Amino acid sequence: MTLDLFSDIDAAEREEIIALRKELEEANYKYYVLNMPTLSDRAFDEKMRRLQDLEKAHPELADKNSPTQHVGSDLAVSSKQSAVSGKGFEQVVHRYPMLSLANSYSLEEIQDWLRKLPSDVEIVCELKFDGLSISLWYENGLLTKAVTRGDGQKGDNVIENIRTIEAIPQRLEGVPAHFEMRGEVLLPWSNFERLNKEREEQEEPLFANPRNAASGTLKLLDSQEVKRRGLTCYLYYMLGEELPGETHFERLETARKWGFPISDAVKVCKSLDEVNAYISYWDTERKNLPVATDGIVLKVNNLRQQEELGYTAKTPRWAIAYKFPAERQLTRLKQITYQVGRTGVITPVANLEPIQLSGTVVQRATLHNEDFIRSLDLREGDMVWVEKGGEIIPKITGKGEGAKGERLEAKGKQVPFSFITTCPECGTPLVRVEGEAAWRCPNESGCKPQIVGKIEHFVSRKAMNIDGLGAETIELFYANGLLHTIADIYDLRKDDIALLERLGDKSAENILAGIEASKQVPWSRVLFALGIRMVGETTAKKIAKRFASIDALKAASKEELMGIDDVGEQIAENIVAYLQDERNLEIIRRLGEAGVQLKGENGAWKVESDKLAGKTIVISGTFAQHSRDEYKDMIEVHGGKNSGSVSKKTSFILAGENMGPEKRKKAEELGVPLMSEEEFLDLLF
C-alpha cells in the first residue's frame, strides 16, 4: 500500500500549481536574463496572485523554490566565471536583501493598502522608473561597488559600466563611512530611439522598450560601448547605519545635497486625495519625461514605521507600486503593405487610421510575419487594438471583437488574409527557409532595396564608416548606375560624382577621402560590413579573432564555426553559404584588390604546442578557472579545433558545471569521453 500525499487535493488545482510555477519561472528568466518579456506585467501579476492563492489553500504543497518565495533573478551567466579570468562579473552578496515591490492596478487596491497602515502615516509618492535596479556601495566617500538586484540575495558587480554614467558621483566628502544608494539605471528615450535606429539599419532585433535596452546595456562586457549608448540613473533609497534623517524624504533630500540624481517628482502626501491627485497628474505628465516610467511607488515616510511593518518573503509591507494601464486605442486596419529589408526579409506593415498614442500620432505598426497575422486572424478592414504603453514601437495586440466574438464594425468584403507570393519590389517568387518565420526575396543582386540596403550597411559608422555616403547619396548613385555592389564604391571617380545633382568637386573630394580612409578599417569591421545574415558586430569580432583572414574563414567548416561563442548552426550555415556564392567571392576579390583589410594585423594564430593536434573538442558548461572564450583560445594555440556540436569526430568534451543535457546524452550515445577542467589544464600545463 502506498500513501498518496495529494489524495485530498483536487487534481486540477495540483496541475495548475505545477504549471503556474513553471510558466512564471520561464517568464522571469526571459524578462530578467534574456530581456525578452513574454508576459505583460499585469498578466504576470495575475498569474502570480493565482499561484499565491492556490498555495495558501494547499500549504502541504509549499515549496521554497516557488516563484512566490523569491524575486526574479537577473544574474549574468558570465558571473559564474572566475574573476581571475578577467571576463564576466563578480557576484556580490547584498548587505540588505534587494526585494521587489508588490504591484497594484487600481486606486481601490491602493486604498486597501493604505487602510492597513497606521492612521498617522505619511506617504512618499515617487515615479516608478522603468529600468534596471542597482545598489551603489560607498566606502569612506568612494564608490566601490555597483550591484544589480540579481536574485535578491546576491547580484552582479557592474562597477565599470556604472562609472560611465556621469550623473553618479564617484567620490564624496562629509558622508557616512559606509552606506548604499539604491535606484534605477535607465536609457533615455532619445538614446533608445537612436540605438534602435542603428539596429534597424543593421537588421538586428530591436529592443522592445528602454527597460530591455538598459538591462542589456548594463550587462555588456565592453564599457566603452556602454558609455556610447548613454545610460542615466535616478536614485530613490538610502541604506546603512547611523544615517542622517528620521524619514525617507529627509534622506532623499540629503542625498540630493550630496550630489546624487534624485527625481524632482518626489512628494510627501498626507491623505488619499493627495495620493490620487499625484497619480492623476503623472499619468498624463509622465509622457513628457525624457525617460520611461510605468507607474508610481508609494512608501511609508517614517523609517521607524517602515521597520515595524517589515517584509514578506519578496516585498516590503511599507511600500507598493501602482502600475499605469498600458495605453491602447482601437482603430481600423486599412491596408497591409510589405517592406523588403537588405537581407531580403519581407516584413508586413499595418497601415492604420491615425490615432493618438503616448503623445504621438500612430499610422503604421509592424505585423512581424505571416504567422503573427494568422495567429490573430487579421484582415484588412478589421478594427484592431494598438498599444504603446512602455513601448515606443506601436504594436497590434488584438482584434476588436463584439460580445460574441464577431468582427467589430468590419468594413469591406473581409477577404481572408493571404501573404504575397512575389517580391513587391522586383517580382521574384518568395522563399521561406524551413524553421524560419519570415518569407524572403532570394534576388540579392537584382532587388533594389537589398542592393541599396547592403551598401548603406557597408558604409555605416560601425562598419566601414565612409563619410559622405548617406542614404540619399547612395540612392542617387544607384539611380545613375554608379553603384550596384559594395565593391563598386572603390571604383568611384571624381568626375562621375561631381557631375551629379547636388554634388560638386568639394563633395566628390570628401567622399573619395572617406573611401580611401576606409581601407584602414580593421578586418573584424570589414567582416561585419559584408552584411552576412545574422552576423552582427559582436559576432563578427569573435569570428575575426578565431579566423584571422578571409581565406582562413573560407576554409572553415560549419562545425569549426559553431565552436565560436554566439555562432549557432544557422549563423554558421549563413557564413558557409555566403562564402560559396561566386557573386560574393567576386565582390571580396575586388575589395581585396582595392586595398580593403581582409586579414587581421597579427595574421594567423600563433601555435604554442601541438598537444591537441588533430583533436576536435566541444566545450560545454561553466568553469571556475577560465572563461569559455579563454578555453577556446587555449585549444586553438595548442593545435586543436573547436566545435559546437558533438559528433563521431569529437575527440572529447571539456565539461564544466551545468553541462548541457543534450550534449551529455549525445556523448553517451557516441561514446565520446568527458574531460574535467582540472584534467584539461593538467594535459596542457
Q: Is 128 a catalytic residue?
A: yes
CA distance 415 to 435: 28
Q: Which residues contact 210 (CB under 8 A, 6 or more apart)?
A: 130, 131, 186, 187, 188, 189, 192, 291, 292, 390, 392
Cβ atoms of residues 254 and 190 within 8 Å: no
CA distance 491 to 617: 44
**In terms of C-beta density within 10 A (0-12 exposed, 13-18 middle, 19 or more buried), how is residue 440 classed?**
buried
CA distance 458 to 528: 8
Dihedral pair phi/psi, residue 235, rounded to 5°:
-110, 145
CA distance 486 to 452: 9
Give the chain's end-to-end CA distance (angstroms, integer): 58
CA distance 614 to 14: 54
Could you tell me where the DSSP H helices lie in 297-385?
303-309, 370-376
Dihedral pair phi/psi, residue 364, rounded to 5°:
-140, 150
Helix (H, G, I), strand (E, B) or coil at 595: coil
**In terms of C-beta density within 10 A (0-12 exposed, 13-18 middle, 19 or more buried), how is residue 15 classed?**
exposed
Q: Amino acid identity, residue 230?
A: G
CA distance 162 to 432: 43
Q: Which residues pair with 364 in a beta bridge?
A: 351
Half-sphere exposure of 83 (CA within 13 A, CB side): 7
Other C-beta atoms closer than 10 Å to the C-beta of 133 total: 22
CA distance 186 to 164: 13
Out of 47, 128, 323, 399, the active site residue is: 128
Q: Cell match 517628482: residue? A: 265
CA distance 596 to 307: 65
Angle at Cα 125 formed by Cα 188 and Cα 307, nearest 5°?
115
CA distance 529 to 622: 32
Cβ atoms of residues 152 and 98 within 8 Å: yes
Which positions are catalytic?
128
